[in-house]
Structure 1
């Protein structure tokens, strides 16, 4: 690589079409990032402080909130710095590191969403056996399996991207180091790297999506068989928040990554904003406002003294 790579820094163009509004965009990013940190840390704190929330569903939710924080932190601070400063450069090493951790954490998140759908399937379809099915040992194994699978699926395409030579082009028309855009900048043949990246993204996204869809098909089938309307509404309410996050997450990432070529950079940036800012920002509100146990925990935490 040292014989071919002459690029030592990349230039993050960010939002050149609205250059005069970069300070406003930076403030919006910073405010959203602060809200994401506060909201997801509050979810984590509530789950740790309330023993009624010591259940598999909230164990996975706690880890999902942690991933939301890590993913946003891997992107937004650097993006804000690039928007506020005249220098928009990022070093080669930092760019590759950002690319890897964004891909790794995103892959783990989708696998974890599939795990959470299985948890809801077990809770609704097998309520009597649920405590034995989803014991603490299995929950820990599923979490570790999510991290291991995410690592295995992202390490190969990342290594292939790192090994690509970059001769002169170093302008990335994005607000972070996106792997597909890095591949386009290489001065070597990239068909193999593109194919591997496409296939790994396809397997992660559609593999976890199929698992989630199958789980929800059985969930819906079971709920419709419940005798009373109140029972059906209660069962649906336990899945609605997770299902909303699934739609937001899968919709944006399928648009971004499961395509053989880059089509419209502006649309890519808009959808990437949904994935890196909107979904992590909405997630705490969706899980806290649409979940009765989370609302009860919030009331106890903030109003018990009154």
Structure 2
């Protein structure tokens, strides 16, 4: 089993035209393909990621940051076909707990869990005036760190030994420097990745630093060049993109999957445990984060 958890980057969102999917696409689908080439068998993908998910809404199901202004928490969840309105929409935490318990009872091995959380916490600040948004960054990152710890504690409670990959974020905004989110991520993007790197060390995970691969390639690797801030999507679930379409193109997801796959090395292990992750701790990012908080 290969689990995908988190936000729209893990879900594999692309052109924001509301195309329901089971999430076996984007970097997660490419990673599953790479594992198949490495091990001779493709893992089953369980992707529960949701557009707009934050570390808080992962646990509560409320307060997602919609990439298009008219979308609600429920609409965002139902874009992932692993969710259903029948009996109410479960939180991503509940969905993961139940699936992991079922896999454990069935003796199914988890070959990897990939997570992206954090971008939407900063993106939500873009609705504020720039000076106010920048002033809110330290408190926002502190709350995020605490919430992400709760998420990771949940994951480790259900899958204590599974290879866990925490993906950092790329800064897409050189492709649209006029986006209201650009100054926020220019200021806080490195600190956000520093927190993720630190938490990876605390929870026995691998930090996957995808940011360098996007530097200089933002227009090709994201949709921001074609769908900048204020772009209007037509259709029943259309609307205005407040910060632009920051999601990866096929080339961008190829790049993310390449960085992730490069961190996985096959080693001789007992049957059922084919992979371990090689961790990249990003010490420089952690140091910068520590200095800022001090």
TM-score scaled by length of structure 2 = 0.27
Select the structure of larger CA radius of gyration. Answer: 1
- Which gives a bigger RCO, structure 1 or 2 (Cα 8 Å, sep 6+)? 1
TM-score scaled by length of structure 1 = 0.26
Which structure dedicates a bigger proportion of its chain to strand?
A: 2
Which structure dedicates a bigger proportion of its chain to helix?
A: 1
